[in-house]
């Protein structure tokens, strides 16, 4: 029997995550049946669940992958840049953006309706808040950030703006002047 390399396993896992993200976004967690996941990935349930213990773990892996990518971007460029990137991708109608937005809404729904999921997810979402807080603290130390508002309040302000943007885009509303709105959000946290 031929051996499969780690690179091949990683590539297969990435394919499953990408196709599953779209499936979860389109049908929601409950509607993304194993049959639909098989259709979306073009793989058998055995191939899918070789990489993930069950549908719950597959969904968590999709959401964790999104959260890790977001935390990296926040640490490097800030949450406003994450919002600008998201707005740009949504304007270009990139297929993965719709899936990513749908996954975010599904995470929010599951946090609200599934206490066990909410408890597990709290650790993952803390990484994004920590990255935002640390980035803001560095900005404050560099003299770029306003000093009259505590960093924790600015963190929550930016998280609220982000959540609103995700909801706006995920529900299919037009972007309109959102680029200008993000300019206002950015100016609100800057030192004058």
Which residue in the block uniquely carries the two structure tokens 């037009």?
A: 174
Query: For residues 84 and 73, what is the distance between their CA atoms, to the nearest angstrom?
Result: 11
Q: What is the DSSP string of 137-163?
A: HHHHHTT-B-SSS-HHHHHHHHHHHHH
pLDDT string in tens for the chain (192-residue length)? 667 788 888 899 999 999 998 898 788 888 999 999 999 999 999 999 999 999 988 998 988 888 888 888 888 888 898 899 888 877 765 555 666 777 788 888 888 998 988 988 887 788 888 888 999 999 999 999 999 999 999 999 999 999 999 888 888 888 889 999 999 999 999 998
At 75 the pLDDT is 86
Q: Are 103 and 61 in contact (CB under 8 A)?
A: no
Query: For residues 165 and 159, what is the distance between their CA atoms, to the nearest angstrom?
Result: 10
Burial 169-183 (b: 16+ CB within 10 A, else e): bbeeeeeeebeebbe
Burial of 72 (0-12, 13-18, 19+ CB in 10 A): middle
pTM strictly above 0.85: no
């Amino acid at each position: 029997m031929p051996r499969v390399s780690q690179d091949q396993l990683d590539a297969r896992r990435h394919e499953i995550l990408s196709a599953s993200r779209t499936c979860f976004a389109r049908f929601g967690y409950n509607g993304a049946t194993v049959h639909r996941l098989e259709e979306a990935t073009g793989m058998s349930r055995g191939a899918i669940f070789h990489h993930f213990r069950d549908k719950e773990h597959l969904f968590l892996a999709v959401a964790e992958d999104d959260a890790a990518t977001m935390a990296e971007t926040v640490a490097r460029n800030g949450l406003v840049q994450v919002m600008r990137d998201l707005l740009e991708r949504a304007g270009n109608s990139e297929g993965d953006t719709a899936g990513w937005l749908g996954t975010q809404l599904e995470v929010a729904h599951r946090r609200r309706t599934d206490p066990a999921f909410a408890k597990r997810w709290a650790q993952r979402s803390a990484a994004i808040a920590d990255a935002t807080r640390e980035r803001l603290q560095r900005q404050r130390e560099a003299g770029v950030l306003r000093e009259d508002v505590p960093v924790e309040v600015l963190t929550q302000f930016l998280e609220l703006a982000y959540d609103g943007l995700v909801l706006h885009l995920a529900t299919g509303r037009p972007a309109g002047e959102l680029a200008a709105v993000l300019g206002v959000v950015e100016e609100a946290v800057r030192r004058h």
